[in-house]
Amino acid sequence: MYLYLPVALTSINILVPVGLGLAVGLLSGLFGVGGGFLMTPLLIMFGIPSTVAAATDSNQIVAASTSGTYAHWKVGNVDFKMGLYLLAGGSLGGVVGVQGIKLLHAMGNADFVIKMTYVLMLGIVGVYMFIESLQSMKKNKNAVVEEAKTEKESAMGRFLKSLPLQARFEKSGITHSVFVPIVLGAFVGILAAIMGVGGGFLMVPIMVYMLRMPMHVVVGTSLFQILFTCIEVTFLQAYTNHSVDFILAVLLLLGSTVGAQVGAVFGRKLKAEQLKILLAGIVLAVTVKIIFELTLTPALLLSQAGGH
């Protein structure tokens, strides 16, 4: 059955967004990512204008991450305190990011900057996570994780500990300056707004490797943080660009809210290393896809311009 989308001005088979929502929601519940880096290009592939795809995806992530956060919160896997600091940074980043997009477009090289940042970020994160979790899986897991922790903390940790306003995050069992999650949250918030992604694929490794949080708490906390960042991005997109398609969002969230619940249940059955290596695999697959897109001659040399 087809439904007409009033803002995207196109018609879509409802099985497509519901199915996409289910698949991406599953990943969301499993790994604590919004899944925008997968969803936005898929929606564009199915004929949704790029600006509408990105904005509407933010809207559906609100639903998926509410569902996912709730599922993780019930089993005590959300560090609200850490989440709130990340959120404070994320909100700041969201505002900066929306302005940044305008500036980049005015400068005329927006696409180059966005694409290169995207490829580099995904590539670095994917490769690092993949190698790290592979090593952890090969050896005695507990011993290696502990060893790696102390080793890395000595290098990075000393700098982080020297920062003022140190706070204890009980749920994650860590101590950090409040500026650390705020700055990292802002960084992810900027990218979320610019690329139309929730930023989870960056937030998760940042929490695991830089904040040293336990993987299962990372997933729940990341979703909690993404939820609020996406509320802000959805509002700004709807208000300034009129690019949120309500009907498309509803179709997507029908699948993604269920998918997020299933993902959260399934994720608890997997070990931290297994989760990390799976996420790394997906991130690397997306990186390879983008590299192909950048190097192969595109079918069409013109595309819809953003905005109005």
Interface residues toward another protein, by CB under 8 A: 1-4, 6-7, 9-11, 47, 59-60, 62-67, 70-71, 74-75, 108, 110-112, 115, 231, 234-240, 242, 244-247, 249-250, 253-254, 257-258, 260-262, 264-265, 293-306
Rounded to an integer, what distance in angstroms lies between the CA atom of residue 173 and that of residue 102? 40
- Residue number, 172 or 234, with CB nearest to another protein: 234
- Residue number, 120 or 165, with CB nearest to another protein: 120
Backbone φ, ψ for residue 278 (5° rounding): -65, -45
Closest approach, Cβ 261 to another protein, in A, equals: 5
Rounded to an integer, what distance in angstroms lies between the CA atom of residue 46 and that of residue 248? 12
Closest approach, Cβ 162 to another protein, in A, equals: 39
User: Shortest CA distance to 213 belongs to which of 73, 82, 75, 70?
Assistant: 82
Do 182 and 49 form a contact (C-beta atoms < 8 A)?
no
Rounded to an integer, what distance in angstroms lies between the CA atom of residue 84 and that of residue 178? 10
Closest approach, Cβ 296 to another protein, in A, equals: 7
Counted residue by residue, the chain has a size of: 308
- Residue number, 244 or 280, with CB nearest to another protein: 244
**CB proximity list for 228: less than 8 A, separation 6 or greater:** 87, 90, 91
Q: Report which DSSP code applies to 263.
A: H
Do 201 and 125 form a contact (C-beta atoms < 8 A)?
yes
Rounded to an integer, what distance in angstroms lies between the CA atom of residue 28 and that of residue 30? 5
Name the 3-class secondary structure at 175.
strand
The token duo for 184 is 């990292």
- Residue number, 237 or 287, with CB nearest to another protein: 237
- Residue number, 7 or 27, with CB nearest to another protein: 7
Closest approach, Cβ 196 to another protein, in A, equals: 15
Q: Which stretch of DSSP H or E encloses residue 13? A: strand 10-13
- Residue number, 21 or 181, with CB nearest to another protein: 21
- Residue number, 13 or 135, with CB nearest to another protein: 13
**CB proximity list for 131: less than 8 A, separation 6 or greater:** none
Closest approach, Cβ 10 to another protein, in A, equals: 6
Closest approach, Cβ 228 to another protein, in A, equals: 11
- Residue number, 174 or 254, with CB nearest to another protein: 254
Closest approach, Cβ 252 to another protein, in A, equals: 9
Closest approach, Cβ 17 to another protein, in A, equals: 14
